């Protein structure tokens, strides 16, 4: 039909769209590009159990490369990269922390006692965390709210003496909030019962904050917003730095 692109033309356009993003130096492979910001990727990408999540992360990086100026995808919606990046992180957090939480829930008295103690001392811990908390947070052109007051809600199940279901991955937000209480040693009550490495309270809380920012951006582009180029670039930098820090705690 007149005015309709032929199948071959569409294929050529699709290939043209895969030219590297201007901000990525042409030449290195996708894995090399990832490793620049995420050094642990070189090892992690070869771990058999991580391979499905590695595919999601690589796909996110390839889609990111298509969003540069001068490509057919320059005016596209970059949400897919952000969603796939976060999916990979979410799966990693669950694979790492779910078995540890499951072991604690087999004999949950420690969790019941800890949740009660932390709940009672929350105002004290909240004041300490507040000095290390930023709200709202700008990620490129996007601003997201990270309300500290709601983080304690993650303990509701434990406070009611109910175990958390672990059959499917919990969200990045939920894991980040749990880390603030179960992966931190602080005089007001939180305790590193998940036995993560490098449980410096200050560093762990700041990481938990960044993980929640990542989740909030993902939620926003999934349901409401289209990320600007500056948001996509800022998210990528934030994401890889946080993922790298997470891997050092395993």
Cis check: omega of the bond before 73, within 30 degrees of 0: no
Cα 152–154–159 angle (5° rounding)? Answer: 85
Using DSSP's 3-state secondary structure scheme, residue 171 falls into: coil
Per-residue pLDDT tens digits for 122-151: 999 999 999 999 999 999 999 999 999 999
Q: How many CA atoms lie within 13 A of 133 on its CB side?
A: 20
Report the share of the chain in percent with pLDDT over 70.
Answer: 86
Question: Is the pLDDT reported for residue 13 higher than 60?
Answer: no
Terminus-to-terminus CA distance in the chain, angstroms? 58
Question: Is the pLDDT reported for residue 14 higher than 80?
Answer: no
Per-residue pLDDT tens digits for 62-85: 999 887 644 445 567 889 999 999
Distance between CA atoms of residues 160 and 31, nearest Å: 45
Host H or E run for residue 218: helix 201-223
Band (pLDDT 50/70/90 cuts) for residue 9 is: very low
Q: Residue 11 corresponds to which tokens in the numbers above?
A: 């294929």
Question: Is the pLDDT reported for residue 43 higher than 50?
Answer: yes
- pLDDT score recorded for residue 27: 56
Distance between CA atoms of residues 116 and 111, nearest Å: 8
- pLDDT score recorded for residue 159: 86
Give the residues across from 144 on adjacent strands.
Answer: 137
- pLDDT score recorded for residue 199: 63
Strand 137-139 vs strand 142-144: parallel, antiparallel, or unpaired? antiparallel
Find the farthest-apart pair of alpha carbons in the chain and give their distance in angstroms, rounded: 74
Give the residues across from 137 on adjacent strands.
Answer: 144
Mean pLDDT of the chain: 87
Distances (CA, A) of 21 to 25, 43, 62, 142, 243: 8, 25, 9, 21, 22
Distance between CA atoms of residues 181 and 201, nearest Å: 10
Pick 125 or 16 by higher pLDDT: 125
Question: Is the pLDDT reported for residue 242 higher than 60?
Answer: yes
- pLDDT score recorded for residue 8: 45
Q: What single DSSP character describes residue 169?
A: P
The mean per-residue pLDDT over the stretch 209-229 comes to 93
- pLDDT score recorded for residue 66: 84
pTM assigned to the model? 0.86
């Amino acid at each position: 039909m007149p005015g309709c692109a032929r199948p071959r033309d569409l294929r050529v356009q699709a290939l043209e769209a895969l030219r590297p993003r201007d901000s990525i130096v042409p030449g290195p492979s996708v894995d090399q590009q990832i490793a620049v910001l995420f050094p642990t990727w070189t090892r992690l990408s070869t771990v058999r159990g991580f391979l499905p999540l590695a595919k999601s992360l690589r796909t996110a990086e390839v889609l990111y490369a298509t969003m540069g100026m001068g490509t057919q995808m320059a005016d596209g919606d970059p949400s897919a990269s952000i969603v796939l990046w976060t999916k990979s992180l979410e799966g990693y957090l669950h694979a790492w922390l779910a078995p540890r939480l499951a072991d604690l829930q087999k004999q949950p008295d420690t969790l019941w006692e800890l949740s009660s103690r932390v709940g009672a001392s929350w105002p004290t811990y909240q004041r300490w965390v507040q000095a290390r908390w930023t709200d709202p947070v700008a990620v490129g052109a996007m601003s997201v709210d990270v309300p500290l007051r709601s983080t304690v809600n993650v303990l509701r199940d434990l406070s009611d003496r109910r175990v958390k279901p672990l059959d499917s991955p919990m969200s990045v937000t939920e894991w980040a909030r749990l880390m603030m209480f179960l992966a931190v040693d602080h005089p007001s009550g939180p305790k590193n019962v998940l036995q993560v490495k490098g449980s410096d309270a200050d560093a762990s809380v700041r990481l938990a904050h960044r993980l929640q920012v990542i989740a909030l951006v993902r939620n926003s582009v999934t349901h409401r917003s289209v990320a600007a180029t500056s948001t996509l670039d800022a998210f990528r930098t934030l994401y890889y730095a946080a993922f790298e820090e997470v891997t050092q705690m395993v």
